[in-house]
Amino acid sequence: MSYQFYKENGLKRKYLISLSVISLLLLFNSCSTEKNTSMSRMYHNTTLKYNIFFNGNEAYKRGINRINSQNTDNYNETLTVFVDSKEELAGSGGGDMDKALQKSAKGIKIHSITKKPEVKKAGSMSKKEKEFFDKKEFNKWIDDCYLLMGKSYFIKREYIDARQTFDYIVRQFPDEDTRHIANLYLVRTYSEQGNFKAAKETLDFIEAEKELPKELDGYFSAIYADFYLKQKDFEAAIPKLQRAVKNTKKKKERIRYIYILAQIYEKLDNLSKASELYGEVAKKNSSYEMEFNAKINMAKCFVGQGKSNKDIMKTLKKMLRDDKNIEYLDQVYYAIAEIEFRQGNKTEAIQNYKLSSEKSVSNDFQKALSCLKLGEIYFSKLDYNNAQIYYDTCMAFLPATYDNYAEIRTNSQNLTELVRFTSTVEFEDSVQVLAKMSEKDRNKIIDKIIADLIEQERIERELEQQANINSMLFDQQRGNSMNNVNAPSGGKWYFYNPSQLSFGKNEFNKKWGQRKNEDHWRRKNKSTADFNDEDIAATEDSATGPQQNRITNTKDRAYYLQDIPLSDSALIASDERIITALFNVGRIYKEKFSDYGKAIDAYEELNKRFPNNEYLLLSYYNLYLLNKITGNDAEMNKYKNLVISKYPDTNYAKLLQNPNYIKDLEQKRREDIQLYIETYDSYMNADCNTVNAKCNSFIQNNPNSDLVANFEFFKTLCVGRSGDTVVFKSALVNYIQKYPDHELATAAENILAYFGTTNVQALIADLQKRPDPIKQQTNTTVKDSSGNVTNVPDNKEIFEFDENETHYYTIYVKNEDVDIKRLSFEIRNFNIFNFSTKTFNVTNMTLDGTYELITVKPFKNKTQSINYSKLIANSDDVFNKLVGVEHKIFVISETNLGKLRKSKDINQYLDFYNQNY
């Protein structure tokens, strides 16, 4: 059926005549779909077109109108080509689409004619009659019903049903005009599903076929542009949109395409072309919102100078005074700021970006953009404190779908981490100054802070009351936005500054509201690490001292006194927090911001203030690297010599003296692992002479290796092959006594525990059947006295929580999905460079033949293991090996690890872990 029907706004035919025809046709009892006569075809065609299909198509149009009326475009992002493809609007027309589906299905069921017409004389049909006879469907409105059905499915975002329906139309009605529309909707369906390969194949087919009616060319071009825009291929979308503008008749759609073209040119930094197109939209009598945004963006993209530039600024300032624009003031100020920034007037740009943020009424996205710009400006000026404030505010409003969201979030997190540590230094320095004062002077300062706070609250109450009286709009603005995120100013140190103290509280309440005073109040994904270990960089929880039973009343003198280090032990703890914070400040400047000058300053301040600090070696080595990067050879050699002379036995010193030290370590590790594999093969071949020789050689040449216990265990197992039960038991006991903390001691204990049989050789033979006697030590199958194989009881034990017990850091991963040896090496390498004075053992064990446990140990308690977990989480070298690989990370006590290895029930432990850790 022709697509011309879709252009009709009403029934343009002689409806009364049609009704008369229908009435006459009703007289014929033979008008059933089981008969195919000219009269039956006329009856079913007319009834379907003017009754069922008409009502279904009207329901579809109502649904589309409802979607368009409820649409609200976000002009800060590239507009969608088609409003009806917006996911959030799918429900708006759902009821109407359901009715359209019901009607189209009913029309097909009742009025489809597939029976062949009777042929008067066989072999006497003309070519035209033959073509008619070969048709699969004889009601010319059935294809329209299918098309209506497919479009309704599409609007409801039921893409599988939609695709199947459009496919059916193309195959079943190859000679009807509806197939062209079905092919176009197929492209849209594939694009919405992200199947761009299939979409491109269909587009190529349509172009190659060259049968698309001219009236559909504008729609085809818009669909092609949408295909490219969904893939962020903006340059390829431009010619398709230009063609769509040229060949689209509906004014509203044409203006929308022009606006999108302008946005694309703006993205591609062709500001003059963007400004020209925005100006064209502004003259087209579009909606006020589109016209306003077009004018704003035209001004924002303007690149002229002189009088023209002054005219643009004059126009924008005039818009500020127009009452119609009161809810758009944030966008006007943003446009002014963009122009000022582009002309190099950073001070004026900052002022207008701030005004944009302050004036946001309901446009959270605009607030996010304004704060992002401010954050970027302050970051470029190396003003990290102000940058953090604006990045943090930006993240409170920025949608996760925004381009570069992940990068912006990372910058915000890094700045927050930096400011947390710089604030710790500032805070601890301030309270130490108070600690050195007399009690009288100290209380005088605290009382002044409290008095200022009370006065400030009084002023704020008066201002709020006055604002409520003067402006209802101001109330609305306060209810929907954070009005002021300007950085505080005032005194030189933390506490002796009332505005600094109240700033944090006020900003907190504006942003988060009243929150309960509890841990993780803000948590969605808390990625910052806390450390409380003498050898590990720390610590959020320890940064500000004990948090339990804190006084929270800011008007109580005790609130301030509780953080002042008045005892020697408290002063030592305060110094430790400063040391940790200064070290981390240097680390963040170096690793996350590449601000090498500030990193050097932080490390030098640390060593100057605390010459015997626990990070001295690490700070020396980092200062060596930083001065090497900045080309300061004298300072570089100074710190190189300090590392070598003061810490000659450390890996850092060895690395500085031998640039190939890490490569040598890696090669040595590969050789050791290869020897382990060869020794294992010899054991499996019952060649204990070779096993003992290899073990003795390795132990003698590598007495400090973490693999010594593994080779010793091979020797112990070979004792069992002698057949002397007493000697074997004795060897197992000796091994347990020699390596009580090693995981293989558990394997030895299991052998002793289930050693009830005198058939030692059967036990050894059973051990030999296991894929790896070193890695699978817990569940052993043995033979009873009758020779029957019996599974050792594998009871699921209840895990016990003891935060003070020795803990292991653990990675659980499928051994075939990752190079276990390489991953273990990267963990060891991480430990070498971060914990030179600590000895951490990294070991692997198979849990159930498929999954591997990689453990790092020992940690004195739960806190140390969790702190380690948070620090290593920042290691790209380690976690790049796990990208796209299913894995679990957790810490586990020594006792619970033994129980896990027996039960092999990882989900049971993870449930326990989530409840207790």
Q: pLDDT tens-digit profile of 100-116?
A: 999 988 888 888 888 77
Q: Which residues pair with 813 in a beta bridge?
A: 852, 887
Res 844 pLDDT > 60? yes
Structure-token match 């893409």, residue found: 159
Q: Which residues pair with 152 in a beta bridge?
A: none
Residue 833: predicted pLDDT: 62
Would you list the DSSP string of 690-738? HHHHHHHHHHHH-TT-TTHHHHHHHHHHHHHTT--HHHHHHHHHHHHHH
Query: pLDDT band at residue 33, thresholds of 50, 70 and 90?
Result: low
Res 585 pLDDT > 60? yes
Contact 869/744 with Cβ under 8 angstroms? no
Contact 144/180 with Cβ under 8 angstroms? no
Q: Average of pLDDT values for 545-551?
A: 65
Q: Which of 440-449, 512-521, 635-644 bottoms out in mean pLDDT, i.e. has the lowest?
A: 512-521
Res 199 pLDDT > 60? yes
Helix (H) or strand (E) holding 833: helix 820-834
What's the pLDDT tens digit per position in 376-412? 999 999 999 999 999 999 999 999 988 889 999 999 9
How do beta strands 841-846 and 887-893 pair?
unpaired
Q: Average of pLDDT values for 650-667?
A: 87
Q: Average of pLDDT values for 691-710?
A: 91
Query: pLDDT band at residue 521, thresholds of 50, 70 and 90?
Result: very low
| Nearby residues of 224 by Cβ (< 8 Å), 6 or more positions away | 187, 203, 240
How many C-beta atoms lie closer than 10 Å to residue 691's C-beta?
A: 24
Residue 835: predicted pLDDT: 65
* CA 802 to chain CA centroid, nearest Å: 34
What's the pLDDT tens digit per position in 214-273? 999 999 999 999 999 999 999 999 999 999 999 999 999 999 999 999 999 999 999 889
What's the pLDDT tens digit per position in 727-748? 888 888 888 888 888 888 877 8
Would you list the DSSP string of 102-163? HHHHHHHHHH---SPPP-SSTT---HHHHHHHT-S---TTHHHHHHHHHHHHHHTT-HHHHH
Residue 122: predicted pLDDT: 56
Residue 25: predicted pLDDT: 47
At position 711, the amino acid (one-letter code) is F
Q: Dihedral, CA atoms, 441, 446, 449, 450, nearest 10 degrees?
A: -130
Residue 782: predicted pLDDT: 33
pTM for the complete prediction?
0.58
Res 6 pLDDT > 90? no
Percent of the chain with pLDDT over 90: 44
Residue 42: predicted pLDDT: 86
Q: Quick one: DSSP state of residue 216? A: G
Residue 790: predicted pLDDT: 35
Residue 146: predicted pLDDT: 92
What's the pLDDT tens digit per position in 283-333? 887 788 898 889 888 888 876 554 467 788 888 888 888 888 888 899 999
Structure-token match 């004195």, residue found: 860
Residue 490: predicted pLDDT: 40
What tokens were used for 420?
Answer: 């947390």
| Nearby residues of 323 by Cβ (< 8 Å), 6 or more positions away | none
Residue 13: predicted pLDDT: 47
What's the pLDDT tens digit per position in 603-622? 999 999 999 999 999 999 99
Contact 158/193 with Cβ under 8 angstroms? no
What tokens were used for 370?
Answer: 């304004």
At position 114, the amino acid (one-letter code) is T
Res 27 pLDDT > 80? no
Residue 783: predicted pLDDT: 34
What tokens were used for 343?
Answer: 């002309």
Which ranges in 210-305 belong to alpha helices (H)? 217-229, 234-247, 251-267, 271-282, 288-301
Res 505 pLDDT > 60? no
What tokens were used for 342?
Answer: 């582009």
At what angle are helices 217-229 and 251-267 packed, to 10 degrees?
30
| Exposure class string for 128-158: b at 16+ Cβ within 10 A, else e | eeeeeeeeebbbbbbbbbbbbbbbbbbbbbb
How many C-beta atoms lie closer than 10 Å to residue 715's C-beta?
A: 19
Distances (CA, A) of 101 to 4, 57, 183, 295, 747: 21, 10, 19, 42, 67
Mean pLDDT over the full length of the chain: 81
Query: pLDDT band at residue 517, thresholds of 50, 70 and 90?
Result: very low
Residue 754: predicted pLDDT: 55
Query: pLDDT band at residue 121, thresholds of 50, 70 and 90?
Result: low
Residue 301: predicted pLDDT: 84
Stronger pLDDT, 362 or 31, i.e. the higher one: 362
Q: Which of 9-18, 185-194, 265-274 bottoms out in mean pLDDT, i.e. has the lowest?
A: 9-18
At position 154, the amino acid (one-letter code) is F
Percent of the chain with pLDDT over 70: 80
Residue 491: predicted pLDDT: 42
How do beta strands 807-814 and 887-893 pair?
antiparallel
Residue 102: predicted pLDDT: 92
State the Cα–Cα distance between residues 312 and 294, nearest whole angstrom: 13
| Nearby residues of 641 by Cβ (< 8 Å), 6 or more positions away | none
What's the pLDDT tens digit per position in 780-805? 333 333 333 333 333 345 788 888 89
